[in-house]
Amino acid sequence: MNKLSRRQIITTGLAATAAASGLAVAGKLAGRYGLIPPDSGGIYGPGETLTYVAQRVLTRHTLAREFSQSQISNDPFANPVDPLGEEFQRFQSGAFVDWRLAVDGMIARPAFFSVAELKSFPARTQITMIGCEEGWTYIAEWTGVPLSHILELVGTLPQARYVVYRSIQPEAWDSIDMAEALHPQTLVSYGMNGVDLPVPFGGPLRMRIPRQLGYKNVKYITRLTITDNLKQFGKGLGSGELGAEDGYAWYAGI
Ligand SMILES: Nc1nc2c(c(=O)[nH]1)N[C@H]1C(S)=C(S)[C@@H](COP(=O)(O)O)O[C@H]1N2
Ligand SMILES: [Mo]
């Protein structure tokens, strides 16, 4: 018998198992990209590898491009929003001390976070581009808490599949799947270009999802709901009047 390397044995076994279970493509990809996880020989065997392959191959273009300080736009364009009501103005005149981000749904520990609390969590700062489907783009530096950190803090249950986020503007709500929610560049953002996120750009809190088009980046967020089903929100299309209910794609990956 030929001497097979450990990797060949694993990929051969994997291809056989994958074919038998209808997952031949994933098995072939595992071999082609050399995606053999260190624990592939463990108790979960090929199944573990297939999960890993599917995730790594599908999210191969994993990070949105990040830019340098010198590329930050001098004159970023804030897309005007409908007038912010009296309630918002009360929060604003109190310097947003009373603003809360509620987190509920399929989690172990429902929470209400103030902006100050969010600022006390591990932060990420990244210089990325935002673009509206209507044409304009700008580059800015955003600071915020990775959404993954919040999801971990509140004890997100394993069945969870989506994060729905809502704004003080009721028509402005949207949702993302867990892959996007756990992505390291997905932030609940409170800072822009070194200062508190200005109101025209969504302050005090905005979703910042650099791998998705502008409209997924909802401003003035007040609530995150973790769920396994989007049917119960609005018309069941996964986003409100800025998105799917107005004919835009729910998945706006770029
Ligand atoms: N609450 C709220 N969020 C919103 C919007 C809005 O009207 N209200 N517009 C969206 C759209 S269509 C785009 S393109 C981006 C624009 O972001 P910008 O103002 O930073 O350019 O914000 C998104 N977030
Ligand atoms: Mo937009």
Helices (H), the chain: 6-20, 24-33, 45-58, 86-93, 115-120, 147-153, 178-181
Surrounding residues of ion ligand 2, Cβ less than 5 A = 132, 214-215
Contact between 173 and 230 under an 8 Å Cβ cutoff? The reply is no
Domain boundaries, the chain: 3-59, 69-246
Pocket of ligand 1 (CB under 6 A): 77-79, 81, 130, 132, 167, 169, 172, 201, 214-215, 217-220, 242
Query: Which ligand minimizes its atom distance to the CA of 131?
Result: 1
Q: For residue 224, give the nearest of 128, 134, 110 by alpha carbon.
A: 110
pTM beyond 0.75, yes or no: yes
Fold topology of 69-246? Sulfite Oxidase; Chain A, domain 2 (3.90.420)
| Å from CA of 168 to ligand 1 middle | 13
pLDDT band at 61 (very low <50, low <70, confident <90, very high): low
Residue with tokens 């199944």, as numbered in its chain? 47
pLDDT in tens, 62-120: 899 999 999 999 999 999 999 999 999 999 999 999 999 999 999 999 999 999 999 99
Nearest CA to ligand 1 atom 11: 215
The CA 251 to ligand 2 mean position distance, Å, reads 14
pLDDT digits (tens, 9 = 90+) for 202-217: 999 999 999 999 999 9
**Considering every ligand atom, which ligand is closest to the CA of 79?**
1
